[in-house]
């Protein structure tokens, strides 16, 4: 049975959906004011992996990931570029989709935008005011943390701790330093929407509460996001959602760890981030995805060029096992042990490092079977390797194409190498060994590994 580490309880719990086999999953998405960095990519890939595995396990997952398309950072970036906000957010939303597609991520079933849900946001704020959990102050609306008894259950941060050493700025009208804004009064020339409290725009936290409950209901199964969102964003989501609806909000909270550079958190605010498109320009997408899944999703992940090179080498090992052929039918007998080990790893809070280890063991068994001349068994095992890899979003492509450089390889370059390999095969057949050796040396000098076999010569990129 699948167990998930629940950030709310701090322990693993057996996964029991509210309405099986249906599962509602909401993940906090991007604030679209710039290109995605590897920290964003990790969240994309981690929760894509979760969706793939849940669906492979028989669950009917409704996957919702929001887009924040109105925010202080968006307003500031649009102003600095002299670009309309709608144009800026559309441009970076398209860039985000391109990055996620390249990394093999499935599109969410629904991708709500904050600006398209103003009615739901306003209704939730109205409910909070009516129930005494929020108050107006000079055109702004604030959530009263003191009025919600359960505040701090997710993060362990209690209101008294938040008040210690805090002070209220002179331009703020909130009653308590721990209170947070639900609605901001409009500023001159700033974007705004009409509301019962005057023109303005929502605070960041209320957006996700309104969108998640509208898409999945007041009470749903899983809420996910990066560890940096646990406080205050997700803590505030719990408070405002449960205060507004009177219902339990989410059963399982999942948080992925940070991507770090030189053991420091990667973040735009720190200026040390690496964009997904920059990494894609230097490394193939599947190797990047492998890297992002190579550590347990809750652990920090340190980014280095060497780590990406190692991920490439690992993917080559898997694709080399697929290169000889594969069958879709399921292997029988003792070979089922690989699938059982894979499921056991994934059922243990999505332990992808252990699941990847099973894939490498299976790849070795494929190679042993081929070397022993057991072609049917090897092909069946290779089919199983492909099937299990798909649950992680890996082994999606053609083995030959990956080994010849992957999606980053120039088709004209592949054609040139293929022509040289064919010329070498012809020279060998004609016993022109001087020409064959010259071509071999040329290709080896270009980092090409040649593999001679009874069916001719195949090649792949060396490291």
Task: Tell whether 340 is in a known binding site.
Answer: no
Task: Tell whether 384 is in a known binding site.
Answer: no
What is the rounded average pLDDT of the residues 9-26? 98
When pLDDT is cut at 50, 70 and 90, the band that residue 170 belongs to is very low
Task: Tell whether 105 is in a known binding site.
Answer: no
Cβ burial, residue 104 (10 Å; 0-12/13-18/19+): buried
Does 161 have pLDDT greater than 80? no
Helix ranges (DSSP H) in 246-304: 276-282, 285-293
DSSP state of 231: I
Q: What percent of the chain has pLDDT over 90?
A: 75
Sign of the torsion formed by the C-alpha atoms of 108, 49, 313 and 316: negative
How many alpha carbons fall within 13 Å on the CB side of residue 388?
32
Task: Tell whether 36 is in a known binding site.
Answer: no
Domains of the chain, earliest start first? 11-261 (3.40.50.620), 283-403 (1.20.120.640), 410-461 (no CATH)
Task: Tell whether 28 is in a known binding site.
Answer: yes
Residues 123-152: tens digit of each pLDDT: 999 999 999 999 999 899 999 999 999 999
Structure tokens at 156: 């362990």
Residues 338-387: tens digit of each pLDDT: 999 999 999 999 999 999 999 999 999 999 999 999 999 999 999 999 99
Residues 78-108: tens digit of each pLDDT: 999 999 999 999 999 999 999 999 999 999 9
Sign of the torsion formed by the C-alpha atoms of 121, 122, 126 and 127: negative
Residues 225-281: tens digit of each pLDDT: 999 999 999 999 999 999 999 999 999 999 999 998 876 766 666 666 789 999 999
DSSP characters over 165-192: T----TT---SSTT-EEEEEEPPTTS--
Residues 391-418: tens digit of each pLDDT: 999 999 999 889 887 544 566 777 788 7
Residues facing 143 on adjacent strands: 134, 180
- Give the predicted TM-score (pTM) of the model: 0.88
Cβ(242)–Cβ(124) under 8 Å? no
């Amino acid at each position: 049975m699948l167990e998930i580490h629940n950030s709310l309880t701090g322990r693993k719990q057996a996964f029991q959906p509210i309405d099986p086999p249906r599962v509602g999953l909401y993940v906090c998405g991007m604030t679209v004011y710039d290109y995605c960095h590897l920290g964003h990519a990790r969240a994309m890939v981690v929760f894509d992996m979760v969706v793939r595995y849940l669906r492979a396990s028989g669950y009917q997952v409704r996957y919702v990931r929001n887009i924040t398309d109105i925010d202080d950072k968006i307003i500031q970036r649009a102003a600095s570029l002299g670009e309309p906000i709608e144009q800026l957010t559309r441009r970076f939303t398209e860039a985000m989709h391109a990055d996620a597609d390249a990394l093999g991520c499935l599109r969410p079933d629904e991708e709500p935008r904050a600006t398209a849900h103003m009615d739901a946001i306003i209704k939730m704020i109205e409910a909070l005011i009516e129930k005494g959990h929020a108050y107006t102050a000079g055109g702004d609306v604030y959530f009263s943390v003191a009025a919600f008894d359960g505040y701090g259950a997710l993060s362990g941060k209690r209101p008294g701790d938040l008040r210690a050493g805090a002070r209220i700025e002179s331009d703020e009208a909130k009653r308590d330093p721990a209170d947070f804004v639900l609605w901001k009064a409009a500023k001159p020339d700033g974007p705004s929407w009409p509301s019962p409290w005057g023109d303005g725009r929502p605070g960041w936290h209320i957006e996700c509460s309104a969108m998640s409950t509208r898409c999945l209901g007041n009470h749903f199964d899983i809420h996910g996001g990066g560890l940096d969102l646990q406080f205050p964003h997700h803590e505030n989501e719990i408070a405002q959602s449960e205060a507004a609806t009177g219902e339990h909000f989410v059963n399982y909270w999942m948080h992925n760890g940070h991507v770090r550079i030189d053991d420091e958190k990667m973040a735009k605010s720190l200026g040390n981030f690496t964009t997904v498109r920059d990494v894609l320009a230097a490394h193939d997408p599947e190797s990047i995805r492998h890297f992002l899944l190579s550590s347990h999703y809750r652990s920090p992940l340190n980014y280095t060029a060497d780590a990406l090179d190692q991920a490439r080498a690992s993917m080559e090992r898997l694709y080399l096992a697929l290169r000889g052929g594969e069958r879709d039918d399921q292997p029988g007998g003792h070979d089922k042990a690989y699938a059982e080990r894979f499921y056991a790893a994934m059922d243990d809070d999505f332990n992808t490092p252990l699941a990847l280890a099973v894939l490498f063991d299976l790849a070795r068994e494929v190679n042993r079977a081929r070397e022993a001349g057991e072609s049917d068994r090897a092909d069946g095992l290779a089919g199983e390797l492909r099937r299990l890899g798909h649950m992680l979003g890996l082994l999606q492509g053609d083995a030959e194409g990956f080994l010849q450089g992957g999606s980053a390889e120039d088709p004209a370059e592949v054609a040139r190498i293929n022509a040289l390999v064919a010329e070498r095969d012809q020279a060998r057949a004609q016993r022109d060994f001087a020409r064959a050796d010259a071509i071999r040396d040329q290709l080896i000098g270009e980092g090409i590994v040649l593999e001679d076999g009874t069916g001719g010569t195949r090649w792949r990129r060396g490291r």
